Amino acid sequence: MTGRRARRRPGENRERLLEAGLCEFGLFGFHGASTAAIAARAGVPQPHVYANFSNKQELFLEVCAAAVQIVLSARLAAGPVELSRVRSGALEGLAADAQRTLLQALAAVCSPQLAADLLPLLAGFRDAYGDSDFAATYGASGVAMLEHAIARN
């Protein structure tokens, strides 16, 4: 007989989905990641994705916002990351997932479906990170993608 899993605290499924989204979107981008894979990685049933986010786009945008927060927090040593599931020793992996997610966001910033919401987030991130440091970290391609998106809008 298998025991039932303990009830999760309020908001825990959402946190798990955001953390799983960092990994999946970071590896596969917006179009390549699936909500089924994100739910599986989070250890929650797929309907919980849509109970917490209205669609995949909303999940991606919230994951990107979390990635910005993680990278800036790590860079500025501004304190703990808000994703409470982060365990000691896991911060490096989470920061790497956040960096990959931001690279995927830069690749998707010109997508008509995402540009209106993603562009202000990434432009604000670049400003907070610093232009020269942004260029050094995300390369000429990252700068070019963001500048191209800004010019289009």
Which domains are delineated in the chain?
Answer: 12-152 (1.10.357.10)
Which two three-digit tokens encode residue 60?
């991606």
Interval 96-146: pLDDT, tens: 999 999 999 999 999 999 999 999 999 999 999 999 999 999 999 999 999
| pTM for the whole structure | 0.85
Tokens linked to 17: 């989905």
- Say whether pLDDT at 8 is over 80: no
What residues contact 72, with CB distance under 8 A and at least 6 apart?
78, 125, 128, 129
Q: Take residue 58 and report the two structure tokens written for it.
A: 């909303």
**What is the pLDDT averaged over residues 22-45?**
97
Residue type, 80: P
CB atoms within 10 A of CB 105: 29
According to DSSP, residue 16 is labeled: H
- Tell me which of 8-12, 76-80, 95-99 is least confident: 76-80
Report d(CA 60, CA 66) in Å as an integer: 10
pLDDT of 75 over the 90 cut: no
> 114, 135, 113: which is closest to 125 by C-alpha?
135
Q: In the prediction, which pLDDT does 74 show?
A: 84
Average pLDDT score over residue span 2-17: 74
Residue 87: predicted pLDDT = 40
Sign of CA dihedral 129, 120, 33, 11: positive
Average pLDDT along the chain = 87
| Count, residues in the chain | 153
Cβ–Cβ under 8 Å, residues 60 and 101 = no
Rounded Cα distance between 44 and 2, Å, is 18
Lowest mean pLDDT among 1-5, 8-12, 16-20, 83-87: 83-87
pLDDT value of residue 94: 86
**φ and ψ at 9, to 5 degrees?**
-70, 155
